[in-house]
Structure 1
C-alpha cells in the first residue's frame, strides 16, 4: 500500500534561483574590488599628485597678487579644503564599504541605467581636461626641447590644426607616455603616484622657495599682499577663494569611490585624506605664496608661473630639472582627476564590450579628437561649456551622499546593482529613478544659471552651494526612508554570484 502524500504545507518549496548578474551591467572592473592595497600613504600620495599642479600654484599665487596677505590666503584655502575633506570622507565611506566604482555606486540613487547620466557628465568634463592638461604638459616639453636643442626651433614655425610640428610631436609623446601608464591598471597608477608625481614636485617647490628666500635675505613680507585692499574686498576675495576651492574638487568628490574602493580600512582613507588635503594642500599653497612673494623681492616683479621662475635661474641643469618636474606634475593630476573616472564611466555604458582599459583608451583618443588647445584658447568654451558642466556636479554629489547616508543609511544590496530584471532593488522605472531626475534637473539649472550668467557673477563662486542644497533637499523629501538605525560599519560582503566574499577588511575604526 502506497504511503499517503504528505500534507501540502509539509512539502518543502523549491529553492528560488538567485537572479543572474547581467552582462549589461557587469565586468571584472565594475564588480566589487577584491584587492585592497591602498594604505594611508597611497591615499596621501594620491592627493599630492592631484594638488601639486601648476594650476593650484597659480591659484594661490593669484590670491596674493589680488591683495590678500599670505596668512589670509592660507586661512581661505584651509577653510575651503576642510569642506572638501569632509566631502571626501563621506564619499569614501560608500566606496570603501561597497568596493564598487563611482558609476556603479550611482546606480543606487539613479537606477541601473540612469547612472549613465552622472557618469557621462563626469566623463565629458574629464576627457576635455585630460586633453588640455596633456597639451599644457607638451608646451613645457617644447620649451625644454628648444632650450636643449636650439635647432629644433625651426619646427615650431609651421601650423597644422593649431600646433607646430614640434608641438604635435611633444603632444603625442605626452599622450602616449600617459597611455602606457594608464592602461597598466590602478595598481601601476598607485605605484607611480606613491613615489614620483607628488614627492618630486615637493622637492622642486621647496628648492624654489628656499632659493628665493635666501636671495631675498630672508626679507619676505607675509602680512601684506601685492596690492592694497579694503577690509570688504579682502573678505570678498577670501570667501570667493573658499567657494572656488570646493568647486575645483567637486569632480573628485563625485568619483572618489573609484579610489577608496581599494583602501584596506576606513582609517587608511581618512588619514590619507587628512594628510593629503588640509595638511598638504594648505602647505603647498603657503609655499606657493612664499615663492610668489619672493619673486617680488628678488626680481622686482610678481611672477605667478613657476616655469618662468625656473627659467630666470641661470643654470641649465635647474631649467631641465624644473621643466621635467612640472611635466610630471601635470601627468600626475591628469591621471588622478582626468583619466580614472572616464575609464570607469565609459566601461559602465557597455560593460560587455568595454572594461577599464578600453574605456581609458577611448577617453585618450577623444582627448585628441577635441583638439584641446582650441578649447583652452576659447574663453567662451572654457567658461560656458566646461564651467557649466562643472556646475552640475554639486547636485550629483548631493544626491549620492544624501541617498547613501540619510535615505538608505548605508544599506546597499550589492547583487541588485548588477540586475536588469524589474525585481531588482535599483531598477525603479525602466532602470531610471525618477526622484533622482526630479532633484537633479532643477538644481542643475539653478546652479548653472548662477555660475554662467554675468549678472550673477558675485555669487558664481558659490553656485555649487545652491545646487547642492536644492538637490539634496528635494531628493531627501521625495525618497522613502530605510528603517532607522545606526549606519552599518563593516564592509559589505560580496554575494556569491559576484565572485564570493571579499577578503577580510577591518571594520570601521
Structure 2
C-alpha cells in the first residue's frame, strides 16, 4: 500500500519549505491522516451488492432482533400486524441507509473523518467517540452472550465439564472464562486482517444464518402440525393497533441507529451507488420480510404447541432432541453472533481510536486495544446491571439520533454533497473544516440542545407514549436546530480525494 508522505513542518523542522512541499505536496497533517483514515481509491473497491446484502443477512437475524420482534406479540400485535410493522420500519431504513451509504461511496472516508465535515477536524472526536463508546460496550456484551451459547454446546458434548461451571471468578465460572476468551480471541484474529477479512466472514456467515433460521421455522411448523397461531392472546384493534404498528416500526429503525450513523465505514469500499441500493434492497425490505415470517412461524408454532411464548430462537434450539442437530444449530447461532459483533460493534471503535491517535494506531492495533477494553470492562456485569444498560448505554444511544440529524443536514442540505476531501486532512486555519480551532461550535450547540431533548424522551416516564419515536424526534430536532444556526453564505467546493487516496485493502 502506498500513500502520500504526511510529514509536517513540526515533525521535520530542519527541512526548508520547498523541500517540505515536495515531501507533503498536499499539505496533509499527520494528526489527521494515515492509511486507514485516508479515502479509498475508486479503483479496486471490493464491496459488491452481495457484500452489502450479507451484512444485513447477518445483522437482521441477530438474536437481539428476534427477541425484539417476538416481544411485539406481548405488546398486543398479531402476526400480520408484526409483518406490517417490520415492513414499515424496513422501508424507512432502506431510505436512510441509502442516503448514509452514498456519503461513504462518494468520499471513501470512514465515519470519524465524515464527522469532520459538520463538526470540524477536531470536533469530530465527539461523534466518533460517542459511537465507538456505545459499540465497544456492546462488543463485550455480545461476546459474553455468544460464550453462554458455547458453554451450552460444551456441556452437551462433555457433561463432565460441568465441574468447571460451578465456581465463580469475577462473575464468570472457569468454563465461562474459557469460552469467553476463546470467542474474544477469535474475533481479534479476524479483525487483525482488516475490513477485507470481515467482508469475507460476513459473506460466509450470511447463507449459513439464512438456511439455519429457515430450517428452524420449517421444523417448528411441522412440529405444530402444519399450522400456527397468528396471535398469542388479545390483539389490539383500531387506533391502538395502528399506533402499535407505527411504534413497532419506529423502534425497529431505532435499533439500527448505530448503523445508519456509520454505514460509510462499509460503503467507502462499495463499487458503486448501485451496489449499495441493490444490497440494501435485498438485505433490508426483502430480508426483513423473511425475518418477520420466521418470527411469526417460530412464535406461533410454539404457542400452538404448548401455549407459551419463546424469548428467542435459542429457546427453540435448546429444545431440539437430537444432539447433533442441537450442536449444528448452536454453532450457527455462534457464527451469527460473531458476524453481528464484528460489523456492528468492532469496526466503529477501531476507526474512533485510529482517528484519536492516527500517528500511533492503525486498524490492527486499534482493534486489539478495542478488544482489550471490551474484556477489561467485564461485560457480563454490565449486562446484568439494568441501571448500566438503561442509563449509561441507553443514554449514549439516545444521542445517536441528534448526531445523525446534524451530519445528514450538513452534508445533504447545507453542502449539497459538495465536499473538499483533502481539506478533511488539513490543519490549516484557512481550511474548509477548520472552523474555530478545529471545532464547529454551531454543530456542538445543536448537539447539546437536541441531546437534552433526546435524553428527556428516553428517560421521562410521562413521555412513554412517544418514546418509540425518540430517535426520529432527536434526529429531526438535531437537523432543525443545526440548520437554524448554521453559517450561511459559504461557497462549497467539490474536490476529489483521489490524489491522497489509498487502495481499499482495509
Q: Return the TM-score normalized by structure 2.
A: 0.91
Aligned length: 482
Deviation of residue 219 (structure 1)?
Answer: 1.9
- The answer to whether structure 1 residue 209 and structure 2 residue 212 are counterparts is no
- The answer to whether structure 1 residue 494 and structure 2 residue 482 are counterparts is no
Does the 8 Å CA contact 1:416/1:426 hold for their aligned counterparts? yes
The worse-fitting range, judged by mean Cα deviation, of 381-390 and 210-219 is 210-219
- Give CA-to-partner distance per residue, 1:464-499, whole Å, 9 cap, x none: 2221121101211222457799x98xxx63253x25
Does the 8 Å CA contact 1:134/1:171 hold for their aligned counterparts? yes
Does the 8 Å CA contact 1:96/1:266 hold for their aligned counterparts? yes
Distance 2:153 2:489 in 1: 58
Does the 8 Å CA contact 2:422/2:496 hold for their aligned counterparts? no
Does the 8 Å CA contact 2:78/2:235 hold for their aligned counterparts? no
Q: Please, which of 29, 50, 53 is the counterpart of residue 41 of structure 1? A: 50
Show the counterpart of 2:229: 221
Show the counterpart of 2:468: 461
Deviation of residue 19 (structure 1)?
Answer: 5.0
- Give CA-to-partner distance per residue, 1:328-386, whole Å, 9 cap, x none: 11111101100011111110001001111111111111111111111111111111111
Aligned CA-pair RMSD: 2.1
Does the 8 Å CA contact 1:212/1:298 hold for their aligned counterparts? no
- Please, which runs of 5 or more residues in structure 2 have no aligned partner? 1-17
Does the 8 Å CA contact 1:78/1:278 hold for their aligned counterparts? yes
Show the counterpart of 1:4: none
Does the 8 Å CA contact 1:70/1:225 hold for their aligned counterparts? no
- The answer to whether structure 1 residue 400 and structure 2 residue 403 are counterparts is no
- The answer to whether structure 1 residue 188 and structure 2 residue 197 are counterparts is yes
Distance 2:427 2:180 in 1: 42
Distance 1:247 1:333 in 2: 16
Show the counterpart of 1:50: 59
Distance 1:225 1:398 in 2: 38
Show the counterpart of 1:413: 420
Distance 1:235 1:372 in 2: 37
Does the 8 Å CA contact 2:88/2:246 hold for their aligned counterparts? no
Instruction: Give the greater-gyration-radius structure (CA).
Output: 1
Deviation of residue 45 (structure 1)?
Answer: 0.5
Deviation of residue 169 (structure 1)?
Answer: 0.4
Show the counterpart of 1:157: 166
Deviation of residue 395 (structure 1)?
Answer: 0.8
3-state DSSP of counterpart to 1:20 = coil
- The answer to whether structure 1 residue 167 and structure 2 residue 176 are counterparts is yes
The worse-fitting range, judged by mean Cα deviation, of 447-456 and 387-396 is 447-456
Show the counterpart of 1:348: 355
Deviation of residue 207 (structure 1)?
Answer: 1.1
3-state DSSP of counterpart to 1:339 = helix
Q: Please, which of 221, 240, 244 is the counterpart of residue 237 of structure 1? A: 244
Distance 1:435 1:50 in 2: 35
Distance 1:115 1:288 in 2: 39
- Please, which runs of 5 or more residues in structure 1 have no aligned partner? 1-13, 504-509
Q: Please, which of 83, 97, 100 is the counterpart of residue 92 of structure 2? A: 83
The worse-fitting range, judged by mean Cα deviation, of 47-56 and 235-244 is 235-244
- Give CA-to-partner distance per residue, 1:89-133, whole Å, 9 cap, x none: 111111100000010011011000000000000011000000000
The worse-fitting range, judged by mean Cα deviation, of 447-456 and 476-485 is 476-485
Distance 2:59 2:501 in 1: 33
**Change in CA separation of 1:482 and 1:153 when aligned onto 2, cut-off 3 Å:** farther
Show the counterpart of 2:11: none
The worse-fitting range, judged by mean Cα deviation, of 165-174 and 470-479 is 470-479
Distance 2:325 2:314 in 1: 11
Q: Return the TM-score normalized by structure 1.
A: 0.91
Show the counterpart of 2:35: 28
Distance 2:220 2:160 in 1: 32
1:416-455 equivalences in 2 (<5 Å): 416-455=423-462
- The answer to whether structure 1 residue 365 and structure 2 residue 378 are counterparts is no
Distance 1:436 1:131 in 2: 31
Does the 8 Å CA contact 1:409/1:482 hold for their aligned counterparts? no
Show the counterpart of 1:278: 285
- Give CA-to-partner distance per residue, 1:404-435, whole Å, 9 cap, x none: 11101111111110011211110000100011
Deviation of residue 225 (structure 1)?
Answer: 4.0
Show the counterpart of 1:507: none
Distance 1:376 1:270 in 2: 35
Show the counterpart of 1:148: 157
Does the 8 Å CA contact 1:62/1:304 hold for their aligned counterparts? yes
The worse-fitting range, judged by mean Cα deviation, of 213-222 and 164-173 is 213-222
Show the counterpart of 2:390: 383
Does the 8 Å CA contact 2:232/2:303 hold for their aligned counterparts? no
